[in-house]
Amino acid sequence: MFDGAAILDGLPDSVRAEFARDFNIADEGFRNGRVASTTQTKEKYRREWFAYCKTLGVDPHLEAATTRFQTRARVLSGFAARTRRGAFGRGRQIAAGSVASAITAVGQAISLDTGVNPTKNEGSKELIYPLQVMMSGFKKEDPATVKKLPIEVDVPEYLASLGRHAGSSERDQAIGDLSLIGFYYLLRSAEYTKNRSRDEKQTVEFRVIDVTFFKRDGLGKLRQLPRNASKEDILAADSATLRLTNQKNGWKGVCINHHVNGESYYCPVKALARRVLHIRAHSDDVSLGLHTFFNNKSEFNITDADIRAALKFAAKQLNYPERGIPIDRIDTHSLRCGGANALSLAGYSDRAIMKMGRWQSKTFLEYISSQLSEFSQGMSVSMSKVLNFVNVEGGVCHDITNIAINTEYANAAAA
């Protein structure tokens, strides 16, 4: 990351290797702290920024000693505008949030070189004022975000039923099982489908080794099943836990658990059992992802595109558009927000939903679709009741007269 050769060259041989080791460990930590896909985007904007400044004949570091504030604001806003119109992407206007990410990437790149971020006010986390105003304008121009809508359990159950039919393919069975698992465990698609590259995303998909099954003993207590438990014992498990290796928000080693739901087939624990047993029957490699399936001794994987297409197909077959849910607003995220909605409608607390979905704050509430009719059920009836409430502050600034004291409430209020 940082060139330490000049520093090391000036050290005696007796200590040079030790300091070189320190620098290497620091560089490794720096590399591990950057998600590959994010790093690629930041690197792209860094290159474009330096090229932009070179054409203008401006110092790309925008150092205060050589660059006036007005010039700094002009060049940064111009680069933001070029980013906004999609010049560094697909040629289409992008949202204000993506423009902000580009400016952040530029500021961080300069900060790594000089120790100063010229996009921010000195000693502050806020953008310089001209950029604040510009970004506010971009946000006002942006259309409203069209969020994906939740689905109900009937969609994953429909997909599981397709995989259950005689003659169904191993791929169909895997898609059905993974849809049930994704819905009940509130999973992100990257946690149960094949990622494009293991290094590109921070989230690591669940593997066979991350699944633990439990069964109740004669006293009704859950007991962990060994990893080599029989097929019969795993299929009869009463509970299953998924252990997170790493996820989007950096959580590691967190476990999420579900118990059987009473269904003999459409159950998250049974679905996990089927996935593990299928993989175990074809491979001893416990590091294989749950998205793995085998056909004719060849290994394949379920991708997010497979799940997306299946969800849209099932929703269409189940007439979701007639419920006011367009097919184009159903995506892999519909499983996660659908599961969160199901828990909310069932009366589970925000805290319980946060724990199951591994949300660190109440940002999960954006997944609870208040436009669904169930959330307003009975509201108008409750609002139509006259409660005759009293404003206890009403008489604070007025004398209470004998007339008010000796008059019935309804008449006194009229007086």
From first to last of the 415 residues of the chain, give the pLDDT tens digit: 556 677 777 778 888 788 788 777 777 776 665 555 577 888 999 999 999 999 999 999 999 899 999 999 999 999 999 999 999 999 999 999 999 999 999 999 999 899 999 999 988 899 999 999 999 999 999 998 888 889 999 999 999 999 998 889 999 999 999 999 999 999 999 999 997 554 445 567 899 999 999 999 999 999 999 999 999 999 999 999 999 875 555 556 788 999 999 999 999 999 999 999 999 999 999 999 999 999 998 999 999 999 999 999 999 999 999 998 999 999 999 999 999 989 988 888 888 888 888 887 777 777 676 656 666 677 777 777 776 666 566 555 555 555 555 656 555 445 4
pLDDT of residue 199: 47
Residue type at position 383: M
pLDDT of residue 71: 94
- Residue 239, φ and ψ in degrees, nearest 5: -160, 155
Q: What is the pTM of this model?
A: 0.74
Cα separation of 267 and 275, whole Å? 12
Cα separation of 347 and 307, whole Å? 28
CB 163 within 8 A of CB 189: no
Which residues on neighbouring strands pair with residue 289, listed in sequence order? Answer: 207
| CA dihedral sign of residues 225, 356, 218, 272 | negative
Which residues on neighbouring strands pair with residue 258, listed in sequence order? Answer: 240
Residues 6+ apart with CB under 8 A from 379: none
pLDDT of residue 232: 96
Return the C-alpha torsion angle 87, 88, 91, 97, nearest 10.
-100
Residues 6+ apart with CB under 8 A from 144: none
Give the DSSP letter of residue 382. H
Beta-carbon count within 10 A of 303 CB: 16
How far, CA to CA in Å, does 26 sit from each of 6, 22, 107, 115, 117? 17, 6, 22, 17, 22
Any idea what the Cα angle at residue 56 is, between residues 52 and 58, rounded to 5°? Answer: 95
Which residues on neighbouring strands pair with residue 120, listed in sequence order? Answer: 127
Cα separation of 415 and 399, whole Å? 14
Angular region, 123: left φ>0, alpha ψ -120 to 50, beta rest: left
For 179, the 3-state DSSP assignment is: helix
CB 183 within 8 A of CB 305: no
Tokens of residue 177, six digits? 């099982």
Tokens of residue 146, six digits? 């069209």
Beta-carbon count within 10 A of 40 CB: 11
Q: Where are the beta strands (DSSP E) in 167-224?
A: 211-216, 222-224
